Amino acid sequence: MTVIRQDDLIDSVADALQFISYYHPVDFIQAVNEAYEREESPAAKDAMAQILINSRMAAMGHRPICQDTGIVTVFVKVGMDVSWTGATMSVTDMINEGVRRAYTHPDNVLRASILADPAGARKNTGDNTPAVIHYEIVPGNTVDVQVAAKGGGSENKSKMVMLNPSDSILDWVVKTIPTMGAGWCPPGMLGIGVGGTAEKAAVMAKESLMDPIDIHELRARGPKGATEELRLEIFDAVNKLGIGAQGLGGLTTVLDVKIKEYPTHAASLPVAMIPNCAATRHAHFVLDGTGPQIQTPPSLEDWPNITWDVGPTARRVNLDT
């Protein structure tokens, strides 16, 4: 039986949220840089240059990647052999205390965006609580936690549909993406949940966005099965739409497409699609009873130091000094 201490979960959540406020996942930065290098549209290339420079500055200065520091979404897998001996709070309250400490940290105060009573007075809670938390009870003696901060712009472009079983998911996605405009701040990822029920599809779509970007590795090795084939088909079809970075046209609208599936009713085909914006922010940690899990800062060498064309002259933005 593993004892997970209350403060270890609180401290780990708080640390993860501060960390992701100013560090993009390295795989995301690498994917944007690859897209930047092959982009042919000057406007889209300029937009991606600004995203990359902003990300490097945020990483160096430990300041938020985006002024919208998001609604906190947490996926928790609690091992059945875990004990919370000595805890005085529920796990939900522990997580929310971690959120509270992260968003009110005096060295890097984050914007509180969460409003209570959403259909009424819509009063700000002041500390970005509560988080949206999804639990799963699993075999084992650890607590596995994925934490994300989801911006309102991309969240507002989420789509959900109940298709007929014979309908094409690819056709629905290609038809739907242009209706989303550029308010979801591409380039980013598309998370797609297929099956289950309406709410299950939406949760799967959100959870899929926690996965690393690996679409190019998938293409290199070749798809295994219909779902991976669909990922590639959607990826290619959406990028051919020409929406591009920040909606300015170009070759790259999405950096990856993720799909999670669940068995569904014979009469149903629920599909949910949730985009992740250019301020993609998520972290993962596992508590095993040995103490809080602190995120390891990436190397600034992972961030490109690029040439950015500004007006008639090209200048190198050197952030190493």
Q: In angstroms, what CA-CA distances link 135 with 3, 77, 269?
A: 18, 6, 24
Residue 306: predicted pLDDT: 78
Residues 207 and 230 in one domain: yes
CA 163 to centroid of chain Cα atoms = 26
Residues 2 and 146 in one domain: yes
d(Cα 189, Cα 205) in Å, to the nearest integer?
A: 11
Q: By three-state DSSP, how is residue 238 classified?
A: helix
Does any domain span residue 97? yes
DSSP 8-state symbol, 119: T
247-256: average pLDDT: 97
Task: List pLDDT tens digits, range 166-199.
Answer: 999 999 999 999 999 999 999 999 999 999 999 9
d(Cα 15, Cα 300) in Å, to the nearest integer?
A: 19
Longest dimension (CA), the chain: 66
Task: List pLDDT tens digits, range 73-127.
Answer: 999 999 999 999 999 999 999 999 999 999 999 999 999 999 999 999 999 999 9
Q: Is the pLDDT of residue 149 over 70?
A: yes
- Strand-pairing partners, residue 194, are 261, 271
d(Cα 39, Cα 205) in Å, to the nearest integer?
A: 28
Q: Is the pTM of this model over 0.75?
A: yes
Residues 288 and 241 in one domain: no
Q: How many domains does the chain have?
A: 2
- Strand-pairing partners, residue 151, are none
Residues 10 and 137 in one domain: yes
Torsion of CA 307, 313, 318, 321, to 10 degrees: 170
Picking from 83, 79, 84, 82, the residue whose alpha carbon sits closest to that of residue 139 is: 79
Pairing of strands 132-138, 71-79: parallel
Residues 186 and 226 in one domain: yes
Residues 224 and 181 in one domain: yes
Q: Which domain holds residue 204?
A: 152-276
Identify whether the C-beta of residue 182 lies closer than 8 Å to the C-beta of residue 275: no
Residues 7 and 93 in one domain: yes
